[in-house]
Amino acid sequence: MIYLKTDEEIELLRENNLLVSRTLAEVGKYIKPGVSTAELDRVAEEFIRSHGAVPAFLGYQGYPAATCISVNEVVVHGIPSEKCILKEGDIVSVDIGTFMKGFVGDSAYTFAVGEVADEVRQLMTVTKEALYRGTARAKAGNRVGDISAAVQEYAEKFGYGVVRELEGHGLGRKMHEDPGVPNYGARGRGPLLKEGMVICIEPMITLGNKAVVCERDGWTIRTRDRKAAAHYEFAVAIRKGGPDILTDYTIIENNL
Ligand code: MF3
Ligand code: CO
């Protein structure tokens, strides 16, 4: 079931995703060699609660933290830990959710810890660009497959792997609504995009093979070959004038 949102509901989703953007920017200030991912999770949870929201991930299907923090070969759903200490050259995907005023915010950004290798820097750049290429196709009258194909075609041009096991999703009163938004697929296929739909597009792109495994903790998804992966996610409303991005990466990037 796909829920179309009114303009007022889209504004509440924007408020949530702006708070997620500001939380990502706040966490970004602490991303340095020597910090633990548990410390970053505390910064995020405190920021979210002090702005009148609750962390949407905490307790979701039993998830134990406010954020997912995924370092290097961890693609998504890394559980923050005191034992996971960032070091120079790492990349770290921070994925944050909020719940406020009946709606959910859900966005992610991959940060570099100090200087990273050129090939890893390019993986980050291409993954973010794939997100923007997909977003450009998020228009009424197009289909989900138009977004998926745009993400896949761009990432694969560089020889990267496109993770198949996880995908983007509708966003609203619930974090995961229909439709699913895969990062691979064919133009002209899949559900029709309509005005009022809000979706999260979230490419997960790997430097090596696309295969992933789930760790024994039941959450952590990492690449099978242990090569790095990047992950960016934002929320997009499909509107009369075209895609309306509800997350604000400029808040994060002005701080980097
Ligand atoms: N941002 C992820 C997603 O889009 C989230 C969450 S996993 C959770 O699906 F279980 F931690 F919530
Ligand atoms: Co999501």
pLDDT in tens, the chain (256 residues): 999 999 999 999 999 999 999 999 999 999 999 999 999 999 999 999 999 999 999 999 999 999 999 999 999 999 999 999 999 999 999 999 999 999 999 999 999 999 999 999 999 999 999 999 999 999 999 999 999 999 999 999 999 999 999 999 999 999 999 999 999 999 999 999 999 999 999 999 999 999 999 999 999 999 999 999 999 999 999 999 999 999 999 999 998 8
Q: Decide whether any atom of ligand 1 lies within 6 Å of the 235 Cβ.
A: no
Q: Decide whether any atom of ligand 1 lies within 6 Å of the 62 Cβ.
A: no
Residue 192 has a pLDDT of: 98
Can you say whether the dihedral through the CA atoms of 137, 139, 141, 145 is positive or negative? positive
User: Ligand 1, atom 6: nearest CA belongs to which residue?
Assistant: 57
d(CA 185, CA 149): 5
Q: Decide whether any atom of ligand 1 lies within 6 Å of the 177 Cβ.
A: no
User: Ligand 1, atom 8: nearest CA belongs to which residue?
Assistant: 57
Q: What is the token pair recorded at 151?
A: 């993400």
Whole-prediction pTM:
0.98
102: left (phi over 0), alpha (psi -120 to 50) or beta: left
CA count, 13 A, side-chain hemisphere, 130: 32
Given a contact cutoff of 8 angstroms between Cβ atoms, the answer to whether 94 and 111 are in contact is: yes
Q: What is the token pair recorded at 170?
A: 């509708």
User: If you measure from the C-alpha of residue 199 to the centroid of ligand 2, how many angstroms do you get, rounded to a whole number?
Assistant: 9
From the list 84, 92, 45, 90, the residue with the least C-alpha distance to 67 is: 45
Residue type, 75: V
User: If you measure from the C-alpha of residue 201 to the centroid of ligand 2, how many angstroms do you get, rounded to a whole number?
Assistant: 7
3-state secondary structure 100-119: ECCEEEEEEEEEECCCCCHH
Q: Which ligand is nearest to the CA of 108?
A: 1
The H-assigned helical ranges of 86-230 are 118-136, 144-157
CA count, 13 A, side-chain hemisphere, 24: 34
User: If you measure from the C-alpha of residue 235 to the centroid of ligand 2, how many angstroms do you get, rounded to a whole number?
Assistant: 8
Q: Decide whether any atom of ligand 1 lies within 6 Å of the 47 Cβ.
A: no
User: If you measure from the C-alpha of residue 151 to the centroid of ligand 1, how many angstroms do you get, rounded to a whole number?
Assistant: 20
Residue 168 alpha carbon, nearest atom of ligand 1: 4
From the list 256, 231, 182, the residue with the least C-alpha distance to 72 is: 231
Number of other CB atoms surrounding residue 66 within 10 Å: 27
d(CA 104, CA 129): 25
Residues comprising the chain, all counted: 256
Structural element, H or E, at residue 245: strand 242-245
Q: What is the token pair recorded at 165?
A: 């096991």
Q: What is the token pair recorded at 256?
A: 């980097």
Residue 256 has a pLDDT of: 86
Residue 205 has a pLDDT of: 99
User: If you measure from the C-alpha of residue 68 to the centroid of ligand 1, how many angstroms do you get, rounded to a whole number?
Assistant: 7
